Amino acid sequence: MTAPLSRLSEDEKLFADSVYEFADQEIRPLVREMDEHAKLSKDLVKKLFDLGVMAIEVPEKYNGAGATFFHSVLAVEALSRVDPSVGVFVDVQNTLFINALLKWGSEDIKDRYCPKLAVDTVGAYALSEAGSGSDAFALATRAKEDGDSYVLTGRKLWITNGNEANIFIVLANVNPDAGYRGITAFLVERGMPGFSVGKKEDKLGIRASSTCELLLEDCRVPKANILGEVGKGYKVAMETLNEGRIGIGAQMIGVSRAALDAMIAYTKERKQFGKAISEFQAVRHQIARAAIEVESAKLMVYNAARLRDAGEPFLNEAAMCKVYSSEVAERTTSLAINLFGGNGFVKEYPVEKLWRDAKIGQIYEGTSNLQLETIAKQIIG
């Protein structure tokens, strides 16, 4: 009989506990200020590198942790229990940027960038555009070959980690006539001529996580910075996003766990009609149902991550865990507000922020509608 999916090895449990302890001590005091000012603390970013969670799968020879994708999932979950903004900051670094670099990068690219990613360099992933959201391959950004370089022109939107990142995976089309077969992935460094970071979005939730536009105005990128092969960017993008969706699932179960913990603690303290509201059956049963959903979402996320590490197919499981965990997060955080009553609606208490943070889970890295269609294709045809 195999162990339950939620059962962690001793190493995994120690790792998850250590990340949560860090988050509780170092991040929690900053959460409200970072949310209000919509900005991550620079000191906190350095501490995340020092902790080792910014290069979890980077091999030890590059000074990374040399751990597994599942460890990345555990880190994102633990951080998101305290602040989902920090959770997604670490998630994009690991499950999108580093994941793509390790899988598709040449040895030269790995040698140049992996040591930096383990020390102080933040990565970001730039696919979306104004007319290319759910239709990810309707890219308007162009790349024109010019000698030993490509010249990129276009505008990217909604790029997570845009403010903090030093390196960006940018998807552009080198041959529009070929459709998606012309899409190519480029590594663009901050500071390259013609590249700039534009407007930062003012968001409902995960406000400390920067979401920015990128401007490419005849930005010259060396051919040595092509990730994968010319014309294979669609494959880089899709396979990377499939794994990134598991990371978003981890973020959402972290949010849900935080809301569940908060409502349990509050209902034990809040008294009405002479007793704690946690003693009323209606309240108890609502919390019990929320706990069932949170545990179910966690099992789905862990299962998808375990399959990925085992080299097994996980497309369907990744889509399912993202849809379900994001729905659970929205329901659980909404319930927390209800159980907090009037206090749930004010910023003095944590649950209104968790509700705001949860909403994005159904939108980024593939909307729920797109994930449902992926699932339908797998099970119906």
Q: Among this protein's residues, is 57 annotated catalytic? A: no
What's the distance, CA 338 to chain centroid? 27
End-to-end CA separation in angstroms for the chain: 33
Catalytic residue among 77, 327, 330, 365: 365
Active site residues: 365
